[in-house]
Amino acid sequence: MSKSKATGKTGQGSPRPGKRRGIKRYGGQSVRAGEIIVRQVGTRFHAGPGTKLGRDFTIVALRAGRVHFRQQKGKKIVAVL
């Protein structure tokens, strides 16, 4: 015999919308100052020259240029050149 009753709809919770994270501008694409390049949780990508890391780990372009992805000492770096 079951120890608890069936919960029904209230126990399931409603589906939540996605957070729209990910890479917004890929390598070689041009960006203007202030455009978001990557939305992420934690530092999967690190900010390089021409970019800055926001409070929520968003990488933003500081100047106009082209996005460049590279690896340096095992870390993925995003730069605007």
pLDDT tens digits, 28-75: 999 999 999 999 999 999 999 999 999 999 999 999 999 999 999 999
Q: How far is CA 53 from CA 3, 25, 57, 63, in A?
A: 50, 15, 6, 14
| pLDDT of 1 higher than 80 | no
CATH 3.30.470.20 fits 20-80, yes or no: no
Do 49 and 80 meet the contact criterion of CB atoms below 8 Å apart? yes
Q: What is the pLDDT of residue 8?
A: 62
| pLDDT of 13 higher than 90 | no
Domain boundaries defined on the chain: 20-80
| Per-residue b or e along 34-55, where b marks 16 or more CB atoms closer than 10 Å to that residue's CB | eeebbbeeeeebebbebbebee
For residues 11-22, average pLDDT: 85
58: Cβ contacts below 8 Å, ≥ 6 apart: 36, 38, 39, 40
